[in-house]
Structure 1
Amino acid sequence: MVQVLRSSSWVAWAALAMLLSPPVQAEQLRFATGYPPGAAPVKHAESMADIVAKASGGELTVRVFTNALLSFAEMSAGVRDGITDVGYVVTPYFPSEYPRTNLLNDVSMQLALLGDAPKGREGVAYGGALMEYVFFNCPECQKEYFNQDQVFTGVSPTASYQLLCNRPVVSAADMNGLRLRAGAGQWSRWAQAMGATPIQISGQESLEGMKQGLIDCTVLSVVSGLSDFRLIDAATHITSTVPGGVFAATPATNINASVWRAMSEEKRRAFLAGAVYMAAAVPFFEHQREREVLGEAKAQGIVILEADADLQDLTRTFIEQDATTVAQHYATQFGVQDAEAMIAGFQPVLARWVELVKDVGTVEDLVTIYEREIYSKIDVSTYGM
């Protein structure tokens, strides 16, 4: 009888202790986006946070931060050093750290060689191809992230890059002497090959640069250019068929490797459920917004043009030749001795993805394809370990 009383008393005390003890807190990850409040990627990151919380049953949560925590220039070191757990890393800010990701970004104009098939889906096709290649075909790409104490979990490309100008540009003759802001290597090389003069200013400076006559055109997606950088107030013409390509050097959900390894497999899967949504949502909704912004531009009197056949042919010739230039540059400047083989190996992957996404109608469609073709094949027990 005494033993029973002691046992019952112990149970009662244990129950009381559980009631008085603080509840076990869910693990929370800090996600630095680098974008200002209200920007579309911040909203997509908040949706990602909801997905992660739901997929983990509340055991893993994500708190989203804007550029008040880290800028893009600070992001890579911020993830590496634990200032943030997850970061929207834009790799061209760090050319020596991520040469292979930058190389794959630097050949995105290859999309134009695939005809009209990618039109309106350039970002979602390129994102799928780049993720498949990095996850499964490029251990050296993975090593670059490991060297920065990061785990790669996806990219979020833009829509297609176009010419946003203060004059009509449709021919090779129109390109000659054009002062053109081009923010990355492939578009600067294209500008020079077409007879234009690349001007090195930031996207944020494009509006004043065009108003003051410093530049005639800028190469950007119409969403970034017309909406985010307000070139809708200065541009008069858009040439939609050149130069093409997307900006895809955007590992949007890189996670600190130590944080990743400390998580349970269930939490890793929950995190990837959010990462695949982020990878799909950013390019899908940018393409959707692209159509809306073009409608706004037309309503404001901006003229939408197509390059003539000669300028398009010259652009395709440039793209074909530029692959060799890119390979030589990355081999010489960054020691990527397999650069030529990387480009050759990436091309069929890209062609496959153009076909895979051709019938995508909703972001849920795209998430399903990314999940089926990529994320379902990631073994969370070994990946990133």
Structure 2
Amino acid sequence: MRTLISATIVATVLASAACADTFKWLTYKPQGAGDAQAITTQWFADQFAERTGGKHQIDIFWGGSVAKAREIPEALAAGVGDFGDVITPYFPDLLPLNNAVGFYIPQPMKTQGVGEAMATWHKDYPQFGQELAQQNLHAVGFRPLENYGLLCTKPVRSIDDMAGLRIRSYGFAYPALIEAMGATPVSISTSDSYEALQRSVIDCTPIGPALARGWKYDEVAKYYIEVPFGASFGHIIAMNLDSYNALDAETRAVVDQLGHDYLMEYSRMLDEDDARVRELWQGDLGVEVIDFPAGELEALVADDKVQAVRNEWIEKAKALDLPVDDIVAKLTF
């Protein structure tokens, strides 16, 4: 009898496992990165399995093993994966609306505020979702970056000290803003910035404490200037649109709620990372944190080149019949 019962239990478990859906998550992040992005990716997968009662699970394909960072949107669209990290600033032509924050640096919002703004815009303005839908993608969550300052190889205490500095530049707003500072923008990839700082190819890079520690830039640049750039927008947690539409109502509700909860968990962890890194800086790492005079950076928003970048986004948005006033109000001081 016990053998019969055991066999029945095993058969039931195997049948349940066979009925479970397994979704694929494509990420460029290494599994052992140990940062908020990697840890909360695993958190999402764990929560998905728990909240669906084990009916569904997510297998994470780490470290670009299936698709590199710039390949993920295309791979998701083709159904190679179901979930993935889309680094929005890498795709300005595909996703101009969803890159709104990248045109507005400096801006006043912190990490969680940027994520909540993106969620609100997706809820209130269908053009944001339609832009993704054209690529067969759907946003289930948002992963902003941390508040950015400047990490430098020399102390910078005011705008006057920026004259002639070579500052890493990328995206839309930073080149114009760096020129308005009196510095020279230098286009260098994230992976090349450590050596660029070490060899004095650049003097500074915009970055936040957690990322600076993650990339170990703080080994070669020992001054962090609290320049109030605000939080940058980083990643959309995206799903293949067909996969999302194929979810039953119960599972879709789990995914939607997880997207909201993900932002809270990620923001909390990023704040903890920031505090941890600042403690390390005060200790053996020996990074000096320098306050920046209030109002000096914000005054540069009036620069013609900075305004031209912002107007470029406004024109793109208006061309898609997007009402821009409420959005711009969130992005301006």
Q: TM-score, normalising length from structure 2?
A: 0.87
2:4 alignment partner in structure 1: none
CA, structure 1 residues 292+342, in 2 after alignment: closer, same or farther (shift >3 Å)? farther
1:48-103 CA deviation, whole Å, 9 max, x = no partner? Answer: 11211122122221111212222210111011011110111112211111000112
2:267 alignment partner in structure 1: 283
Larger Rg: 1
1:262-298 CA deviation, whole Å, 9 max, x = no partner? Answer: 1100011122233223222223211221111111112
1:191 aligns with 2:173: no
1:26-65 CA deviation, whole Å, 9 max, x = no partner? Answer: 1111111221122332221111112111221222211112
The correspondence for 1:330, drawn from 313, 320, 332, is 313
CA, structure 1 residues 221+341, in 2 after alignment: closer, same or farther (shift >3 Å)? same
CA, structure 1 residues 338+306, in 2 after alignment: closer, same or farther (shift >3 Å)? farther
1:318 aligns with 2:300: yes
1:132 aligns with 2:132: no
Structure 1 residue runs of 5 or longer lacking an equivalent are 1-14, 112-117, 352-385
Tell me the CA shift for residue 168 of structure 1: 0.6
Aligned-partner residue type, residue 279 of structure 1: L
Matches within 5 A, 1:1-385: 22-23=15-16, 24-39=18-33, 40=35, 41-67=37-63, 68-107=65-104, 109-111=106-108, 122-136=110-124, 138-225=125-212, 227-240=213-226, 242-252=227-237, 254-299=238-283, 300-309=285-294, 312-313=295-296, 315-319=297-301, 324-330=307-313, 335-337=316-318, 343-348=324-329
| Percent of matched pairs sharing the same residue | 22
Q: Distance in 2 between matches of 1:133 and 1:145?
A: 13
Aligned-partner residue type, residue 53 of structure 2: G
1:376 alignment partner in structure 2: none
Tell me the CA shift for residue 343 of structure 1: 4.7
Deviates most, 58-67 or 259-268: 58-67
Residues 209 and 278 in structure 2, CA contact (< 8 A), matched pair in contact too: yes
1:380 alignment partner in structure 2: none
CA, structure 1 residues 73+20, in 2 after alignment: closer, same or farther (shift >3 Å)? closer
1:146-190 CA deviation, whole Å, 9 max, x = no partner? Answer: 101111112111111111001110112210000011233222221
Q: TM-score, normalising length from structure 1?
A: 0.76
1:366 alignment partner in structure 2: none
Structure 2 residue runs of 5 or longer lacking an equivalent are 1-7
Residues 59 and 267 in structure 1, CA contact (< 8 A), matched pair in contact too: no
CA, structure 1 residues 281+323, in 2 after alignment: closer, same or farther (shift >3 Å)? farther
The secondary structure found in structure 2 opposite 1:70 is coil
